[in-house]
Amino acid sequence: MLKSAIHIEVTDRSIEVGPHYAAMLSSGTGAVVLFSGNVRDHNEGKAVSRLYYEAYDGMVQRVLQQIAEEAVGRWRLARMAIVQRIGWIPVGEPAVIVLASHAHRNEAFQAARYGIDELKRRAPIWKKEIYTDGSENWVACHHHGPEPHVHGHAQQ
């Protein structure tokens, strides 16, 4: 597998989608799927003003690289990119993008879906929601975790 087929980035700057999309293109590319996960203005009934993202620097890049390598290998992707933004992110802006390119759309859709699902399940990234009333909360998504054989404690 070509390492250059994979682009992993963790940045504290705004994500510009255009250059990442352009980097997916090649003469054999019939389909590019781009997923963007954006900061929305509400969660579980509370009005959100902004989000703070934190990552385990070093480990997060390793995990995202592993996820991308798995996707490229499984679906024989031409290219894949995962870009996660950290720090303060205003409502409406992308916090993460996942791109997959392939000769055909089916594989590109499945691989992009795999990329974002696995990122949410096992990448060491945390977000804190700041609400319009001034309160805040670290978001805990309880329906995931790494593979069972490395899971910290048994899940019910």
Partner 1 sequence: MIQVTLRFFAAYRERLKTGSLPMILTEGTTAAECFDRLRSDLGLDAATVRSTLFAINQEYVKPEAVLKDGDELAFIPPVSGG
Nearer to partner 1, 25 or 141 (CB): 141
The residue among 62 and 74 lying less far from partner 1, judged by its C-beta, is: 62
The reply to whether 142 sits near partner 1 by the rule CB under 8 A is yes
Nearer to partner 1, 103 or 113 (CB): 113
Nearer to partner 1, 10 or 78 (CB): 10
Structure tokens at 81: 């990119």
Nearer to partner 1, 46 or 76 (CB): 46
Asked whether position 113 contacts partner 1 by CB under 8 A, the answer is no
For the CB of residue 95, give the shortest distance to partner 1 in the complex, in Å.
7
Does residue 120 interact with partner 1 by CB under 8 A?
A: yes
Tell me the CA end-to-end span of the chain in Å, nearest whole number. 38
Per residue, the 3-state secondary structure of the chain, as one string, reads: CCHHHEEEEEECCCCCHHHHHHCCCCCCCCEEEEEEEECCCEECCEEEEEEEEEECCCHHHHHHHHHHHHHHHHHCCCEEEEEEECEEEECCCEEEEEEEEECCHHHHHHHHHHHHHHHHHHCCEEEEEEECCCCEEECCCCCCCCCHHHCCCCCC
Binding of partner 1 by 144 (CB under 8 A): yes
Site for partner 1 (CB under 8 A): which residue of 23, 49, 109, 122?
122
Binding site for partner 1 (CB under 8 A): 37, 53-56, 58-59, 62, 84, 95-96, 116, 119-128, 138-142, 144-147, 149-155
